[in-house]
Structure 1
Amino acid sequence: MSRARLAGAPVVSEVLPRELESVPVARHVVRDILDHWDLPELAQDAETVISELATNAILHARMAAIRITVTRVDERTVRLAVIDRSRVLPVLRSPDAHDVHGRGMGIVDALTRCWGTDRLPWGKRVWAELRDQR
């Protein structure tokens, strides 16, 4: 796990293989970071969000790896992100009851305060913010 500083905010970054077995690893990394930052109240939603973001990248991106980052925006806010080498942007869909796929970004939207995508020259960063309400 690598640690970096970004505009004064603590950031933890981890490169994972682009395979479905990386999703539980991403959840574990996020939970450990939130415990370390004393934000365990965010852990359940954060694990769900990173699962959805990582799964999307694993299923739709190119290359052999993805990068997850967890940034502490302020004392009660974290930003989760997944960086991949696909330029295809995620879409918030309204699947019907019979659709098997298409609910991931709806879950992210429901659990987070905000989310978005940053285009990169070689891919994208999909991020979402969660805030502890205590």
Structure 2
Amino acid sequence: MYEYDSSLAKGQDPCASGIGGPAYHEVFSRTEASAEPARRLVRHALGVWGLDVLAEPAALVVSELVANAVAHACGETVRVVVARLDGGAVEVSVSDSSRVRPVPRMAGPDDLGGRGLLLVTAFAACWGAQPQPGGKRVWAQVRG
């Protein structure tokens, strides 16, 4: 079903973009339909780790990160990772093939989009983007 990967562990700073515990990851097509299986991956991992209280905020965050990759990135796939951090927190990340970093913007009252990163900011303790070979990784940490 979902791939568990303990080799993704690294980093100690609670708002550094490294991950510090066990992780699950999956590759999805870069389409709007991938938001739902990404949310299921997050809910599954958090259920296994007994962090159900973080499931809905983390699922919302991963939905927004996937939507951002679908709207603004390139390539055919995205990689979603959910990692357990020390202190009962999790990090969700979405990697894509674009090197362009996300920038929050202020959507107008009648705009249909443009609020995703504002939602990420509201539900995540911190978030950021890291360049990586062939693109970038956008990550967010959710805490209880």
Q: TM-score, normalised by structure 1?
A: 0.93
Unmatched segments (≥5 aa) in structure 2: 11-19
In 2, Cα distance between equivalents of 1:104 and 1:72:
23
Equivalences for residues 53-68 of structure 1 within 5 A: 53-68=65-80
Q: Residues of 2 paired with 1:89 and 1:101: CA distance?
A: 18
Report the AA paired with residue 110 of structure 2: H
Q: Distance in 2 between matches of 1:58 and 1:2?
A: 22
1:105 paired residue number: 117
The 2-side partners of 1:36 and 1:29 are apart by: 11
Name the % identity: 41
Per the TM alignment, residue 96 of structure 1 is displaced from its structure 2 partner at its CA by 1.8
1:75 Cα deviation after fit: 3.9
Distance in 1 of aligned mates of 2:108 and 2:70: 24
Displacement after TM superposition at 1:80 (Å): 0.3
Q: Which has the higher strand share?
A: 1
Deviations along 1:48-101, one digit per CA (max 9) or x if unpaired, are 100000111122221111000011111411000000001111111111202221
Query: Aligned equivalents of 2:78 and 2:21: distance in 1?
Result: 22
Q: Deviations over 1:7-45 (max 9, x none)?
A: 361011100111111110100110111011000100111
CA distance in 1, matches of 2:87, 2:24: 15
AA in 1 matched with 2:106: S
Please, which of 24, 42, 49 is the counterpart of residue 12 of structure 1?
24
Match of 1:96 among 88, 95, 108: 108
2:4 maps to 3
In structure 2, give the amino acid aligned to 1:101: G
Task: Supply the AA of the counterpart residue of 2:53.
Answer: E
Equivalent in the alignment of 2:17: none
The answer as to 2:21 corresponding to 1:37 is no
Q: Give me the whole-angstrom Cα distance separating, in 2, the residues matched to 1:78 and 1:42.
A: 8
- Counting matched residue pairs gives 132
Superposition RMSD on alpha carbons, in Å?
1.1
Q: TM-score, normalised by structure 2?
A: 0.87
> Tell me, which stretches of 5 or more residues in structure 1 are unaligned?
none
Moved more, 30-39 or 7-16: 7-16
